[in-house]
């Protein structure tokens, strides 16, 4: 069996005949923590969908956790956290209902949860700091709690591979840090983690492995190897500079300002701020 | 008491009462999944489509239930496939598939005018013609749908909530959708004779919409909607007898009245709750909104 948790060989994905990703070859070793970066529309989410068997037209070879993935044949043992923007928040489900969905494959045939299933849900919620919130409607949680509720759904089945689509979008800095610490902990426990993100400096630069995507793979490797002017500019279709913080040694990606200057002017005078 | 006892002396009414209750419960149960899939119009569309199938079955001398049911099942599958695969949306898919099928039925009727009267019952509902065979078929469909929902409750819930993610977690959504289409077609076929093609959408949409105003939890929503549908079906039959109006119309008008009352009462409750909440907040000197607005810079990205 391959030591790679995720492997794509010359994969091409298309929607309605239009290719979104072309000739993608990618190997993520088991136990890695990889971030996928790229501009909007670059194909980051499509790349995740290819790994999950959700992309409709895929050519090439896709293997996840040793299983051959084809459209409409998702791999087993994989947890997935979609973008929260895709969730129907008016749907009448509680947090417990949502988390329970994560074990739908192994759950009993009865409509109601067994005592053991309830205990499992309670333990997962507690692990994510959501204890006591199982009975709440999903809309009644804060943004960070909602994100963690869907993370709980992904984790309750103890997945070997965890795939997340912008798990830190729409959350505050503290919640983002909490989520990343939790993911790091899961990664240390052996889970392979792949996530997309738009946050370059605060997140991607601190990951052990980064995949740069722009209709294909532009580069992949540790941030020290891929965070450079050429790769970043090619990935984001804009002039980018990578700087090194003198004090911390951290990598910082910045726009080089080649685009049209942007500023706002106000007609009305600004109010006095006490 | 005469309101309840008088009609029960007639066998045709007893039959009608049984089927109206079963059909009401069935529509209420299926309606939950239909409104949550945002396919409220499907009952209306599918009944029109099945009307076309019923005409074709008549012409080919097939059994009504088999011909109309098969036609409805295929129409529901076609609607699902069209809506999901071609990014058309459920409303457009329903409009295209069902009106075409209805038009086919109308075309055949206009060609073969001899059986026009037989389809009046299908269009407007006819409780007088309910036979013991009808009761047995409706009871069997209700029992089968109830059993399917019971055994597939979790898969159906997940597929309704998010069909794509359900696939990732091992739900065979293709099979769930096919089973749902079959159940929906069977529901519409057996309901047609009671409420009629023209009113079936209301029978499917009103009970779950009423129940939705009363609860925010999925399990209670399913139970409430089924009970409301059954109650409206039964009481609607008594009203139909008392006021000598078509059974379908009586059931739908009663449903609308119940929905209006629940809408008004729950609206008043929310208003009172909000008022007391605002009063409490004002007393504490707090003006913090209940839901903090999302900063524009942190909105989720819509990526491919």
B87 vs A contacts (CB less than 8 Å): 16
Chain A contact for B169, CB < 8 A?
yes
Task: Tally the C-alpha atoms within 13 A of residue B19's C-alpha that lie toward its C-beta.
Answer: 30
Please state the ipTM of this predicted complex.
Answer: 0.85
By CB atoms closer than 10 A (0-12, 13-18, 19+), residue A239 is middle
pLDDT given for residue A258 in this prediction:
55
Nearest CA in chain B to A44: B304
Cβ(A227)–Cβ(A246) below 8 Å: no
**Which candidate from A92, A102, A170 shows the least CB-CB separation from B221?**
A92
Does residue A56 register a pLDDT over 90? no
Interface test with B, best of A14, A93, A166, A167 (most B CBs within 10 A): A93
A97 vs B contacts (CB less than 8 Å): 157, 218
With CB atoms and an 8 Å threshold, state whether A54 touches B167: yes
Domains of chain B: 2-284 (1.10.3470.10)
| Interfacial B residues in 42-101 facing A (CB < 8 Å) | 87
Chain B contact for A86, CB < 8 A?
yes
What are the backbone dihedrals phi and psi of residue B43, each rounded to the nearest 5 degrees, phi first?
-60, -45
B221 vs A contacts (CB less than 8 Å): 92
> Measuring CA to CA, how many Å separate B193 from each of A237, B207, B255, B296?
63, 19, 18, 53
A15 vs B contacts (CB less than 8 Å): 304
Most confident of A71-80, A148-157, B287-296: A148-157
Q: pLDDT category, A263, cuts 50, 70, 90?
A: low
With CB atoms and an 8 Å threshold, state whether B303 touches A42: yes
Which neighbouring-strand residues pair with A33? A193
The secondary structure of A47-68 as a DSSP string is HHHHHHT--SEEEEEEEETTEE
Cβ(B54)–Cβ(B123) below 8 Å: no
Does residue B167 register a pLDDT over 80? yes
What are the backbone dihedrals phi and psi of residue A28, each rounded to the nearest 5 degrees, phi first?
-115, 110
Chain B contact for A100, CB < 8 A?
yes
Does residue B141 register a pLDDT over 90? yes
Chain B contact for A90, CB < 8 A?
no
Cβ(A47)–Cβ(A24) below 8 Å: yes
pLDDT given for residue A227 in this prediction:
86
B217 vs A contacts (CB less than 8 Å): 92-94, 137
Q: pLDDT category, B84, cuts 50, 70, 90?
A: low
With CB atoms and an 8 Å threshold, state whether A111 touches B150: yes
- In Å, how far is B5's CA from the nearest CA of chain A? 38
Nearest CA in chain A to B162: A87
A59-81, pLDDT tens digit by residue? 899 999 999 998 878 898 899 99
User: Which residues 6+ apart lie within 8 Å of B232 measured at CB?
Assistant: B24, B206, B207, B251, B254, B255, B258
Nearest CA in chain A to B160: A91
Q: What share of chain B is helix, strand, coil (3-state, %, to 5)?
A: 85, 0, 15
Q: Which of B65, B66, B69 is nearest to B49 (CA)?
A: B69
Nearest CA in chain B to A113: B154
Chain B contact for A118, CB < 8 A?
no
**Which candidate from B161, B167, B301 shows the least CB-CB separation from A93?**
B161
State the alpha helices, DSSP H only, in chain A: 44-52, 95-101, 115-127, 143-155, 173-188, 223-226, 229-236
User: What percentage of residues in chain B have a pLDDT greater than 70?
Assistant: 83
By CB atoms closer than 10 A (0-12, 13-18, 19+), residue B166 is buried
If one compares B39 and B158, the residue with the highest pLDDT of the two is B158
pLDDT given for residue A237 in this prediction:
85
Counting one residue from chain A and one from chain B, the pairs whose CB atoms sit within 8 A come to 110
Chain B contact for A152, CB < 8 A?
no
With CB atoms and an 8 Å threshold, state whether B168 touches A80: yes
pLDDT given for residue B294 in this prediction:
32
Longest dimension (CA), chain A: 68
Longest dimension (CA), chain B: 77
Phi-psi region of A17 (alpha: psi -120 to 50; beta: other; left: phi over 0): left
The stretch B210-219 carries a mean pLDDT of 94
Nearest CA in chain A to B163: A54
With CB atoms and an 8 Å threshold, state whether B300 touches A83: yes
DSSP state of A137: B
Tell me the C-alpha distance between B214 and B188, whole Å. 26
A160-187, pLDDT tens digit by residue? 999 999 988 878 888 888 888 889 999 9
A107-129, pLDDT tens digit by residue? 888 898 899 999 999 999 998 88
**Residue B282 neighbours by CB distance under 10 Å:** 10
Tell me the C-alpha distance between A108 and B152, whole Å. 10
B218 vs A contacts (CB less than 8 Å): 92-94, 97
């Amino acid at each position: 069996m391959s030591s790679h948790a995720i492997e794509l060989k010359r994969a091409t994905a298309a929607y309605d005949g239009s290719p979104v990703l072309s000739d993608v070859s990618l190997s993520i070793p088991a136990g890695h923590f990889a971030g996928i970066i790229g501009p909007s529309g670059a194909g980051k989410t499509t790349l995740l969908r290819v790994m999950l068997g959700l992309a409709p037209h895929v050519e090439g070879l896709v293997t996840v956790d040793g299983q051959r993935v084809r459209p409409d044949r998702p791999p087993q043992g994989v947890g997935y956290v979609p973008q929260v923007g895709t969730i129907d928040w008016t749907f009448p489900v509680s947090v417990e209902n949502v988390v329970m969905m994560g074990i739908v494959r192994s759950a009993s045939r009865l409509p109601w949860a067994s005592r053991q299933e309830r205990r499992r849900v309670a333990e997962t919620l507690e692990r994510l700091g959501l204890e006591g919130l199982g009975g709440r409607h999903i809309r009644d949680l804060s943004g960070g709690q909602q994100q963690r509720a869907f993370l709980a759904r992904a984790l309750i089945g103890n997945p070997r591979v965890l795939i997340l689509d912008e798990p830190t979008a729409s959350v505050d800095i503290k919640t983002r840090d909490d989520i990343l610490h939790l993911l790091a902990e899961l990664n240390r426990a052996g889970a392979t983690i792949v996530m997309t993100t738009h946050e370059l400096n605060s997140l991607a630069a601190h990951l052990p492995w980064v995949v740069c995507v722009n209709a294909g793979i532009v580069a992949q490797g540790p941030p020290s190897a891929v965070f450079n002017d050429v790769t970043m500019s090619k990935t984001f279709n804009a002039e980018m500079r990578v700087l090194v913080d003198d004090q911390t040694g951290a990598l910082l990606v910045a726009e080089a300002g080649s685009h049209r200057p942007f500023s706002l002017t106000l007609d009305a005078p600004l109010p006095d701020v006490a | 008491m005469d309101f309840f006892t008088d009609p029960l002396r007639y066998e045709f009414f007893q039959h009608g009462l049984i089927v109206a209750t079963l059909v009401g419960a069935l529509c209420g149960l299926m309606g939950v999944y239909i409104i949550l899939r945002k396919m409220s119009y499907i009952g209306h569309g599918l009944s029109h489509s099945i009307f076309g199938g019923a005409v074709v079955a008549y012409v080919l001398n097939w059994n009504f239930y088999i011909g109309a049911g098969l036609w409805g099942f295929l129409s529901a599958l076609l609607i699902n496939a069209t809506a999901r695969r071609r990014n058309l949306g459920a409303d457009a898919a329903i409009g295209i598939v069902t009106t075409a099928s209805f038009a086919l039925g109308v075309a055949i009727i206009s060609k073969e005018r001899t059986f026009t009267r037989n389809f009046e019952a299908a269009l407007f509902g006819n409780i007088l013609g309910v036979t013991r065979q009808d009761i047995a078929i409706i009871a069997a469909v209700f029992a089968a749908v109830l059993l399917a929902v019971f055994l597939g409750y979790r898969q159906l819930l997940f597929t309704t909530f998010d069909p794509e993610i359900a696939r990732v977690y091992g739900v065979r959504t293709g099979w769930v959708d096919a089973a749902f289409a079959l159940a929906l077609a069977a529901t519409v076929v057996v309901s047609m004779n009671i409420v009629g093609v023209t009113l079936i959408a209301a029978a499917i949409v009103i009970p779950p919409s009423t129940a939705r105003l009363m609860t925010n939890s999925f399990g209670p929503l399913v139970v409430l909607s089924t009970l409301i549908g059954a109650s409206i079906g039964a009481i609607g039959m008594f009203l139909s007898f008392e006021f000598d109006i078509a059974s379908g119309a009586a059931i739908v008008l009663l449903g609308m009245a119940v929905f209006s009352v629940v809408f008004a009462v729950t609206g008043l409750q929310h208003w009172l709750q909000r008022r007391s909440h605002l009063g409490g907040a004002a007393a504490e000197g707090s003006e913090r909104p209940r839901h903090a607005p999302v900063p524009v810079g942190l909105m989720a990205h819509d990526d491919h």
